[in-house]
Amino acid sequence: MNASAVPTRVAVVGGGIAGLAAAHALLSPEAPADGSPSTPDVAFDVTVFEAQDRLGGKIRTSPFAGIAAVDEGPDAFLARLPWATGFARRLGLGDSLVSPARGSAAVWWHGLQPIPEGLLLGLPTDVMKLARTKLISWPGKIRAATEVLRGATSLESDSIGAYVRARFGDEVHERLVDPLVGSIYAADTDRFSLTAVPQLADLAGKGRSVLMTARRAPAPAASDGPVFYAPAGGLGQLVDVAAARIVELGGDVRVGAPCTTLEADGAGWRVDGEHFDAVVLACPAAQAARLLAASSVAAGLSRIEYADVVMVTLAVPAAAWPERLRGLSGYLVPKPMQHLVTAASFGSQKWTHWRAPDTGSGEQVVLRISLGRDGLPVMHLDDEQLVAAALGEVSTQIGVDLQPTAVRLTRWQRAFPQYRPHHHRTVADLAADLPDGLVLAGASYHGIGIPACIRSAEQAAGMLRQRTRAALA
Ligand SMILES: Cc1cc2nc3c(=O)[nH]c(=O)nc-3n(C[C@H](O)[C@H](O)[C@H](O)COP(=O)(O)OP(=O)(O)OC[C@H]3O[C@@H](n4cnc5c(N)ncnc54)[C@H](O)[C@@H]3O)c2cc1C
């Protein structure tokens, strides 16, 4: 039988990057990064349902202070992981990818302290490089240096905090690892899975002592290649181009179309009454749990927790920006020093095109300030309180009286799933219990960054392709 003569109807619930990547992989004749077959032998008829009136989910790019495109959420993806770069290239955006300037970053600990060298996501790999930092006290440095003498640490708790505190002491954890990893995921790393951060888990899993392991197999020298990429038009360009390509390939993309009911109908699934052979759930786990309330997986899905964050974007006169801060990409605020601000990113020093034109009051520079994380709620505060906190805290921390000429506030409710210890087991159990014809994709499951979301989407599409091929054989 010619399998491609039988189009299989697939609904994709969620038009964030995972949903779009899944739809693209189902429709596209090009090979995804995981090496699945490049020429589809099964034809899919794909409909994307997006609840909001715009696509992109956590990716949102809009004009700000006279600059055409300033991201309100993520502003770049990791270049060393192939999935996002590959996706962008397959969409024809390869030549449009730009990288932020390589500035240094700091941690605010009674002043801006440069992040020492020789760290892997905050974990020291060469304790001598900690010697000069003012971030760690001498007793803290001595405690870190004794890591080589300590007996093996059990990985059973699967908590980043428990592991790092046991190996290197509280200061290294609270002033280096927690700010670095915690700022990526808005996490409290005492309650975040070690296994979910592969770079740390690899190092921890290779031997008794991190320092000895790193000495035996030093990390390859940092390449001169880019660490991050983003399309020149901001990450929103990836969303726009992906959506246009899906439509070109015959997909149906519906915005303002929340999926409210999902019911098995014997031959497949009914999405708000419409029949589909299979469904990719590319919405956050909390929404998937609501749709599958009658199923045994609902409880597991609803146990995945989230942290909310607020992003305040400011334009301030470049003339007021001090020389001593030039070359710095931003800074992180460790928990013992936090009020509401967790990090500030000096956008114009990362992205050369993020400089607001002179419209009479001189050139402006752009800052992005993050507030809130797991365990530090912010959503109950009104916009005025949040902007006042951002301005007040950052002005004090950098010693500049910030007088913005433009302010934008973006609320990201359920911004980051929190991978609690043993998250991988929770997800494996969910996958095993999932009713036939459903697959999960997106940030709630196998990685939070954009590359991981795209990988999970392409794997979900590959799984559906295989199952469909087997069913039609
Ligand atoms: C402030 C911030 C900064 C970040 N920075 C970075 C970064 O620099 N680099 C990086 O790699 N990652 C970053 N991330 C993480 C990354 O952006 C997200 O994890 C990723 O975009 C999530 O994609 P997703 O498609 O899984 O989910 P989402 O983007 O959440 O998309 C899910 C979509 O499903 C829709 N939906 C929900 N329920 C329904 C329903 N019932 N019916 C239809 N649609 C529904 C939602 O409206 C949403 O559009 C950042 C995230 C945030 C919030």
At the topology level, CATH places domain 3-59+81-96+237-297+434-472 in FAD/NAD(P)-binding domain (3.50.50)
pLDDT of residue 110 exceeding 50 = yes
pLDDT of residue 289 exceeding 80 = yes
* Residue ID of nearest Cα to ligand 1 atom 29: 57
Ligand 1 lined by 412 (C-beta under 6 Å): yes
For the chain, the structural domain boundaries read 3-59+81-96+237-297+434-472, 116-216
Q: What amino acid occupies position 262?
A: L
> DSSP secondary structure string, 340-381?
SEEEEE-HHHH-TT-EE--SSS--EEEEEEEE-BTTB--TTS
- Residue 218 is predicted with a pLDDT of 66
- Residue 4 is predicted with a pLDDT of 44
Ligand 1 lined by 124 (C-beta under 6 Å): no
d(CA 374, CA 417) in angstroms, rounded, equals 9
> DSSP secondary structure string, 190-234?
GGSBSTTSHHHHHHHHT-S-HHHHHHHSPPPPPPSS-SEEEETT-
d(CA 230, CA 104) in angstroms, rounded, equals 19
Ligand 1 lined by 83 (C-beta under 6 Å): no
Ligand 1 lined by 283 (C-beta under 6 Å): yes
* Residue ID of nearest Cα to ligand 1 atom 30: 57
Place of tokens 């405690």: 143
d(CA 94, CA 108) in angstroms, rounded, equals 36
What value does the mean pLDDT take over residues 416-433? 96
416 CA closest ligand 1 atom index? 53
Domains 3-59+81-96+237-297+434-472 and 116-216 equal at CATH topology level: no
CATH number assigned to the domain covering 116-216: 1.10.3110.10
What number of residues does the chain have? 473
Tell how far the Cα of 286 is from the centroid of ligand 1, in angstroms: 13
- CA geometry: angle 198, 199, 202, nearest 5 deg: 75
d(CA 469, CA 473) in angstroms, rounded, equals 6
Question: Who has greater pLDDT, 30 or 240?
Answer: 240
Ligand 1 lined by 410 (C-beta under 6 Å): no
- Residue 394 is predicted with a pLDDT of 98
What value does the mean pLDDT take over residues 175-195? 97
pTM of the model: 0.95
